[in-house]
């Protein structure tokens, strides 16, 4: 997601809270994948699975409505990820409680809800991993745009990084399939990793502008996705 110089998640939030339509769209587009991913995992194989889209919409209504979450958000009170996680979990619980009241979830079918409530650390981890995956997807888009400026060589780095990350193919096998010297690809891979990490730093600067250790934040995201 290309952003103007100096823009961060908190500048977007302040603008969205004041009613700026572009900022509201940016906020929703930026975090929808995280919210949707978590809700789909939470309800996978359950009766509420087909209501994931409605729940996602309700999360953003809670955030963007007058007097809503974004108007009360404070950059000094913690990172946005934690705030968004709490809102998403509250909305999910609201849907679950409605389903119980309406008899769509019978008492004998509700053991999984008790398990969710007793596994707060596990649910936080699930949300954080969805957030991390969205960060990596955003970083990947930036990297592709950056590398593509270098023409054929840049496209080679894009393909190389995808084959290394996606299939964990050894450089020597990729070099053989492309009929290229392995050392050339080792050099290209080194440059691709450097470009990717540069893009990751840019993305994390947007999402974690108040951090005192950007390098640690980048490492944490990479560790989250395994």
pLDDT, tens digit (0-9, with 9 covering 90-100), for 149-195: 999 999 999 999 999 987 789 999 999 999 999 999 999 999 999 99
Final residue in a domain of this structure, among 93, 118, 143? 118
Where are the extended beta strands (E) located within 69-151? none
| Average of per-residue pLDDT values in the chain | 92
Shared domain for 139 and 36, answered yes or no, is: no
Q: Is 157 found in the same domain as 105?
A: no
pTM for this structure?
0.89
pLDDT of residue 2: 45
What range does the domain containing 150 cover?
130-226
- Is 65 within a domain? yes
As a whole number of Å, the end-to-end CA separation of the chain is: 23
**Cβ–Cβ < 8 Å for 49, 96:** no
**Within a domain: residue 125?**
no
**Residues 24, 55 within the same domain:** yes
Chain centre to alpha carbon of residue 8 = 15
pLDDT in tens, 111-161: 888 888 888 899 999 999 999 999 999 999 999 999 999 999 999 999 999
Q: Which of 63, 98, 118 is the last residue of a domain?
A: 118
Structure tokens at 182: 């392995």
Q: Is the pLDDT of residue 14 over 60?
A: yes
Percentage helix, strand, coil, to 5, in the chain?
80, 0, 20
Instruction: Read off the tokens for 222.
Output: 């990479």
Predicted confidence at residue 75, as pLDDT, reads 81
CB atoms within 10 A of CB 29: 10
Q: Is residue 97 part of a domain?
A: yes
Question: Within a domain: residue 123?
Answer: no
Query: Residue 4 pLDDT more than 60?
Result: no
Q: Number of folded domains in the chain?
A: 2
> Quick one: 220 and 139 in the same domain?
yes
Instruction: Give the mean pLDDT of 43-50.
Output: 92
Q: What is the pLDDT of residue 113?
A: 87
The pLDDT confidence band at residue 1, using thresholds 50, 70 and 90, is very low
Banded pLDDT at 3 (limits 50, 70, 90): low
The label of the residue with tokens 């957030």 reads 131
What band does 79 get if pLDDT is binned at 50, 70 and 90? Answer: confident
Q: For residues 159 and 114, is the Cβ–Cβ distance under 8 A? A: no
Residue 124 placed within a domain: no
Answer with the one of 118, 139, 166 that is the final residue of a domain: 118
């Amino acid at each position: 997601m290309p952003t103007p110089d100096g823009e961060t998640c908190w500048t977007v939030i302040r603008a969205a809270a004041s009613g700026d339509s572009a900022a509201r769209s940016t906020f929703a587009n930026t975090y929808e994948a995280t919210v949707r991913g978590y809700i789909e995992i939470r309800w996978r194989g359950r009766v509420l699975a087909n209501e994931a889209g409605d729940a996602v919409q309700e999360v953003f209504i809670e955030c963007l409505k007058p007097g809503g979450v974004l108007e009360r958000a404070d950059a000094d009170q913690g990172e946005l990820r934690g705030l968004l996680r709490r809102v998403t979990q509250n909305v999910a619980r609201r849907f679950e409680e409605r389903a119980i009241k309406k008899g769509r979830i019978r008492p004998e079918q509700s053991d999984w809800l008790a398990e969710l409530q007793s596994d707060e650390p596990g649910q936080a981890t699930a949300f954080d991993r969805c957030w991390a995956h969205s960060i990596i997807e955003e970083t990947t888009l930036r990297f592709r745009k950056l590398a593509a400026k270098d023409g054929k060589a840049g496209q080679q780095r894009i393909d190389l990084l995808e084959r290394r990350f996606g299939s964990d193919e050894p450089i020597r096998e990729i070099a053989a399939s492309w009929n290229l010297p392995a050392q050339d690809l080792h050099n290209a891979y080194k440059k691709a990793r450097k470009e990717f990490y540069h893009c990751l730093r840019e993305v994390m600067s947007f999402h974690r502008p108040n951090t005192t250790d950007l390098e640690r934040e980048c490492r944490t995201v990479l560790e989250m996705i395994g």
